[in-house]
A and B are shown apart, each in its own frame.
Chain A
Amino acid sequence: MKTLAVVITTPPYSPLTVTALTYVETALIAGINVIGVFFYQDGAMHANENISIASDEYQAIAHWQRLNQQYQLPLHICITAAEKRGIACDSVDNEEINGAFTVSGLGELVELTTKATRLVQF
């Protein structure tokens, strides 16, 4: 069974995240087993609940949330990258972190990479 893992290194306001979302959703619709998305570098900003993007612009975070709910797509954020960007990851029920995201470490990236047939970075 072919598996896909995705790495997001761009922030939620980047047009690249639109491409990433289209790619991931198309893969899910095609029935490809997407084993997880890992948010690293500026990608970690996706989990920040305080980010507010003008309503007439692309709502990347809401779309990730939707894919997480609709397909149980695991969304992992790198704790070091997140804390560096002002997202406090110290408590489980943290209101600053979007509930669709799981706080993980780079070990999770190793896990996803070793399990995935393909790894794609945006």
Chain B
Amino acid sequence: MVSSDTQVENNLSQESGLAIINSKAPFSSDFGKDALDVALIFGSFEQKVSLFFQGDGVYQLIGHQDGTLVSIKDYLKTFSAFEFYDIEDIYVCQQSLVNRQLDESFHIDNVNVLASLEFGLAINRHQHVLRF
């Protein structure tokens, strides 16, 4: 008989890396920028990091925004450097886009649009999760 502890251990061994969930709109708080800083540090230490955008966080992926118009540093521009940091797993929640009547067009390439269940399963494949 397998103890629950061993099961947890087995599940963990299949999971790897860090999932960062972005849940806030870009220019109304520091959360997006703080999450970006964490992602880039993990990338530069060659640690696996995936980005998830959900709720108002999906606004961080929408194009033609310019934070400087509201005197905020436009950290969204740095998203184009993800490839350079080997951050390749980027997921957005389809339902969050639908709820906000947003198209699936983003200011960076290789964004995976996932239905709620798949979005959840993708997060579950990571060993650690941080939410901003």
Contact = CB atoms under 8 A, between A and B. Distances in A.
Interface residues of B, number: 17
Given A113-B18, A113-B47, A114-B47, A119 B128 contact: yes
Counting chain A residues whose Cβ lies within 8 A of the other chain, the interface size class is 10 to 19
A109 interface: yes
B contact face: mostly helix, strand, loop, or mixed:
mixed
A110 interface: yes
B12 A40 contact: no
Interface string A77-107: 0001100000000000000000000000111
A98 to B, nearest CB: 22
Interface in A64-83: 80-81
B45 A110 contact: yes
Interface in B73-132: 127-132
A107 B30 contact: no
B11 to A, nearest CB: 11
A109 B47 contact: no
Contacts of A59: none
13 contacts: A7-B130, A40-B38, A41-B30, A80-B37, A106-B37, A107-B45, A110-B41, A113-B128, A119-B127, A119-B128, A119-B130, A121-B129, A121-B130
Interface of B: 12, 18, 30-31, 34, 37-38, 41-42, 45, 47, 127-132
